[in-house]
């Protein structure tokens, strides 16, 4: 691997060998990005199947045949083709809505490996999940528990539940993606946990199967996980004294990826100590579950855009590209770094640019202060766009959403065609007589 130099565009992408330069042109596996952009247009999301598989294999190496269920948190990227790959590889799924449940089933997910998270589950979603027989509801409040009991008894099913406990640990990540602190909306407070479990025990159509937490996202240190685990184990001891035996412990997702130069733990650094701690505490028979999203897909995708204009100012120059904040919201939403690569490396003097889109907002930027030798109609690839990329896209400014392409070796597949202009308003009507 080459050096990772900030602000340099002629480096190999973020540690993922499936995106690489050959003869100064960027490739995804065996296909030139330029050819894919010509074939499918821009803005274009391109994913590498081999990179997805490599990310999945990192988890499987860590699991090493033990009883660990990896549930892909599909909100990170819910394209059917990608879900289907994970289903083929044996993944479970962590879902947060009835829409995600439908997608997962359509993609071939095994319902018995589906975990349903989220603070605002609705009756129809709970009913559907009970009917198909999911593995578990991660319950985040007493009113939700009451609703699950009601829905389950109405259709005479028993709902398997875990309580999502908020362990009040600081995941040391961006406040918008930190979820395990006392004052955010997620989970049940640790001090209410035991009483809530005891309440759940009294419900006729609820079966306690597990304990869950999820402390945040883009976590690059193990300490927050260790702190959370210590608190969960103490709770498990208390539950045992009340006669509550858990079938699984779910430690959530959140492992970070490299966007720039972050050092991120390997999944085994999380899984091994957790399994050891369970064993040492007398919970060897308790299954471990995880809910990784970003770390399974984030560095398996790029967003390719074409330079429309170069605006060279006194103090700042702009590369105005045809992708925008509606295509990739993360830079402006979280003020975060994504690598930006020239798809073709050209000789010539570099200039420093902000890479911005056509949307009428000053917040519409994708990358800042990057050095490129580029001309209009050059292509720029935004790295690490596989997670929370397309799924967070919108049609703001009446911009049809980008196409998505999956590369497998020397083949490419359109896994979501570009939206058309007509589709932008196909659900709208002008009422008669106004």
Ligand X SMILES: *Cc1c(COP(=O)(O)O)cnc(C)c1O
* Minimum distance of ligand X from residue 293's CB (angstroms): 3
- Kindly give, in sequence order, each residue whose CB lies less than 8 Å from that of residue 267, ignoring residues fewer than 6 positions away: 58, 59, 61, 62, 255, 290, 292, 295
- A 10 A CB-CB count for 194 gives 16
Q: How many CA atoms lie within 13 A of 68 on its CB side?
A: 24
Nearer to ligand X, 164 or 399 (CB): 164
Give the residue among 97, 57, 54 at the shortest CA–CA distance from 78.
Answer: 97
* Minimum distance of ligand X from residue 398's CB (angstroms): 29
> Quick check: 332 binds ligand X (CB under 6 A)?
no
Q: Which strands form 25-28's sheet, in the order they lie side by side?
A: 19-22, 25-28, 31-32
**x/- contact string, 90-109, with ligand X (CB under 6 A)?**
----x---------------
> Quick check: 224 binds ligand X (CB under 6 A)?
no
Residue 136 among the catalytic residues: no
* Minimum distance of ligand X from residue 299's CB (angstroms): 12
> Quick check: 291 binds ligand X (CB under 6 A)?
yes
Selected from 28, 73, 200, 343, the binder of ligand X by CB under 6 A is 73
Q: How many CA atoms lie within 13 A of 253 on its CB side?
A: 25
**What does the CA dihedral 92, 96, 100, 104 come to, rounded to 10 degrees?**
10
Alpha helices (H) in 288-423, listed in sequence order: 294-297, 330-334
> Quick check: 290 binds ligand X (CB under 6 A)?
no
**Residue 266 DSSP code:** -
> Quick check: 117 binds ligand X (CB under 6 A)?
yes
Nearer to ligand X, 73 or 151 (CB): 73
Q: Which of 71, 136, 213, 360 is catalytic?
A: 360
Nearer to ligand X, 384 or 412 (CB): 384
Nearer to ligand X, 214 or 258 (CB): 214
Selected from 18, 40, 49, 75, the binder of ligand X by CB under 6 A is 75
- The number of residues that bind ligand X (CB under 6 A) is 15
| Residues in a beta bridge with 307 | 321
> Quick check: 217 binds ligand X (CB under 6 A)?
yes
Residue 13 · residue 302 · CB < 8 Å: yes
* Minimum distance of ligand X from residue 335's CB (angstroms): 17
Q: How far is CA 238 from CA 106, 245, 282, 360, in A?
A: 40, 11, 13, 55
Stretch that binds ligand X, among 69-77, 152-160, 232-240, 308-316 (CB under 6 A): 69-77
> Quick check: 254 binds ligand X (CB under 6 A)?
yes
Tell me which residues touch ligand X (CB under 6 A).
73, 75-76, 94, 117, 214, 217, 252-254, 291-295
């Amino acid at each position: 691997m080459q050096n990772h130099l900030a602000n340099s565009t002629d480096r190999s992408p973020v540690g993922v060998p499936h995106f690489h330069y050959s003869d100064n042109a960027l490739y995804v596996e065996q296909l030139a990005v330029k050819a894919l952009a010509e074939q499918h247009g821009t803005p274009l999301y391109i994913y590498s199947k081999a990179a997805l598989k490599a990310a999945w294999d990192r988890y499987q190496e860590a699991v090493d045949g033990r009883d660990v269920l990896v549930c892909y948190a599909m909100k990170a990227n819910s394209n059917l083709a990608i879900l289907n790959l994970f289903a083929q590889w044996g993944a479970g799924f962590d879902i947060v809505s009835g829409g995600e449940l439908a997608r997962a089933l359509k993609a071939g997910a095994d319902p018995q490996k589906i975990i349903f998270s989220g603070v605002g589950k609705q009756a129809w979603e709970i009913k559907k999940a009970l009917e198909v027989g999911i593995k578990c509801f991660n319950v985040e409040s007493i009113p939700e528990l009451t609703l699950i009991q009601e829905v389950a008894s109405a259709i005479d099913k028993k709902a398997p539940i875990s309580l999502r406990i908020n362990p009040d640990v600081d995941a040391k990540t961006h406040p918008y993606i930190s979820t395990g602190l006392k004052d955010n909306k997620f989970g049940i407070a640790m001090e209410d946990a035991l009483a809530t479990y005891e309440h759940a025990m009294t419900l006729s159509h609820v079966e306690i199967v597990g304990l869950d937490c999820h402390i945040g996202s883009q976590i690059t240190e193990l300490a927050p996980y260790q702190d959370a685990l210590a608190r969960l184990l103490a709770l498990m001891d208390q539950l045992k004294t009340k006669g509550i035996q858990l079938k699984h412990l779910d430690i959530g997702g959140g492992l970070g990826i490299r966007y720039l130069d972050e050092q991120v733990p390997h999944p085994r650094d999380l899984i091994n100590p957790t399994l050891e701690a369970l064993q040492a505490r007398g919970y060897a028979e308790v299954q471990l579950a995880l809910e990784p999203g970003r770390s399974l897909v984030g560095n398996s995708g790029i967003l390719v855009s074409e330079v429309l204009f170069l605006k060279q100012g006194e103090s700042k120059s702009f590369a105005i590209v045809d992708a925008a904040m509606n295509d990739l919201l993360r830079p402006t939403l979280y003020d975060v770094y994504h690598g930006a690569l020239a798809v073709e490396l050209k000789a010539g003097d570099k200039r420093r640019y902000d890479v911005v889109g056509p949307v009428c907002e000053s917040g519409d930027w994708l990358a800042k202060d990057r050095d490129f030798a580029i001309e209009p109609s050059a292509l720029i690839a935004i790295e690490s766009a596989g997670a929370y990329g397309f799924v967070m896209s919108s049609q703001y400014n009446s911009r049809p959403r980008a196409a998505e392409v999956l590369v497998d070796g020397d083949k490419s597949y359109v896994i979501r065609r570009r939206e058309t202009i007509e589709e932008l308003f196909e659900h709208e009507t002008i009422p008669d007589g106004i």
